[in-house]
Amino acid sequence: MPPTPTTVPCQYRTGKTLGSGTYAIVKEAVHIKTGKYYACKVINKKLMEGREFMVRNEIAVLKKISSGHPNIVTLHDYFETANNLYLCFDLCTGGELFDRICAKGNYHEPDAADLVRTILKAVKYIHDSGIVHRDLKPENLLFRTPAEEADIMIADFGLSRVMDEERFHLLTEICGTPGYMAPEIFKKTGHGKPVDIWAMGVITYFLLAGYTPFDRETQQQEMEAIIAGDYKFEPEEYWVNVSETAKQFVRECLTTDPIKRPTAGGILKHPWLAKPHFVPDPAS
């Protein structure tokens, strides 16, 4: 049975805006009774016209599975008003992975491998629960605290399945980069679990180099490059200190045929993710 919203928004006081994305604004919110802080995602109902029922069902699923893994933001509460849907998540105060990559330039290989391993384990958990994230990118990977070694958390998943039509429109028309989207999404031949592994390949490339593999002058060119799997480990200067094993890992994730692409469980066994981390031979 679909859950009926019970809570009213005045139980929370909203504060500063933490971020905004494809279809929502996220605000800091304090639960008045307990004084606890949350991140409250506000989704305009106009964006899901006719699909409210599906969205509510999906939220119930999210609530159930999100508390089951330490690297996924837990959905604690949700409620509705006439115009908006409010989702209250764990508050992550450490910012987006995107900003950390930009601040650092790039990640050292062992640190990148640690992050990728952690994220992939959480992706495997999501996939094993029957859900595809569909929008994995460094803007949706958040640090729990500002500490350097803070846990990384996967945010913003689950709802994309029901918001999809709108999202695809927004992505291509307004939001710019389709950089993390798998070839099969453009070819409209499928958008199952393999799309998340593709995105992990793009994210790993970004972590290692500090830029993404399919950046092109126009969106059309970018899309064509993605469909063709046309990317290189260049310019050379950004890749000289990166091991062949790391490049092999990226290549496997960026397999253009989703059927041949490894699963989360499969790619977790890749030697690049083995511990202790493989140390590249600088001379080779």
User: What does the alpha-carbon distance between residue 82 and residue 118 come to, in Å, rounded to a whole number?
Assistant: 39
Question: Which three-class secondary structure string do you get for 214-245?
Answer: CCCCCHHHHHHHHHHCCCCCCCHHHCCCCCHH
Q: Is the peptide bond prior to 276 cis by the omega test (within 30 degrees of 0)?
A: yes
CA 155 to chain centre: 6
Pick what 196 binds: ligand ADP, Mg ion, none; C-beta below 5 to 8 Å, kind-dependent: none
The catalytic position among 77, 90, 135, 196 is 135
Q: For ligand ADP, which is the closer residue by CB, 73 or 226? A: 73
Block residue for tokens 């409010």: 86
Rounded to a whole number of angstroms, the minimum distance from the CB of residue 274 to Mg ion is 31
- Whether 195 and 258 have beta carbons less than 8 Å apart is answered as yes
- The answer to whether 281 is a known catalytic residue is no
Q: For ligand ADP, which is the closer residue by CB, 171 or 225? A: 171
Rounded to a whole number of angstroms, the minimum distance from the CB of residue 82 to ligand ADP is 20
Rounded to a whole number of angstroms, the minimum distance from the CB of residue 284 to Mg ion is 39
Q: For Mg ion, which is the closer residue by CB, 9 or 21? A: 21
User: What does the alpha-carbon distance between residue 230 and residue 239 come to, in Å, rounded to a whole number?
Assistant: 17
User: What does the alpha-carbon distance between residue 58 and residue 62 come to, in Å, rounded to a whole number?
Assistant: 6
Q: Which residue in the shown chain puts its C-beta closest to Mg ion?
A: 21
List residues near ligand ADP by CB under 6 A.
Answer: 18-24, 26, 39, 41, 73, 89-92, 96, 139-140, 142, 155-156
Block residue for tokens 């089951």: 68
Taking CB under 5 A as the criterion, the residue among 156, 184, 196, 222 binding Mg ion is 156
178 touches Mg ion by CB under 5 A: no
Rounded to a whole number of angstroms, the minimum distance from the CB of residue 234 to ligand ADP is 29
160 touches Mg ion by CB under 5 A: no
Rounded to a whole number of angstroms, the minimum distance from the CB of residue 262 to ligand ADP is 26
96 touches Mg ion by CB under 5 A: no
User: What does the alpha-carbon distance between residue 62 and residue 53 come to, in Å, rounded to a whole number?
Assistant: 14
User: What does the alpha-carbon distance between residue 201 and residue 23 come to, in Å, rounded to a whole number?
Assistant: 25
Block residue for tokens 């989702």: 87
Q: Give the residues lining the site for Mg ion (CB under 5 A).
A: 21, 140, 156
The residues assigned a catalytic role are 135
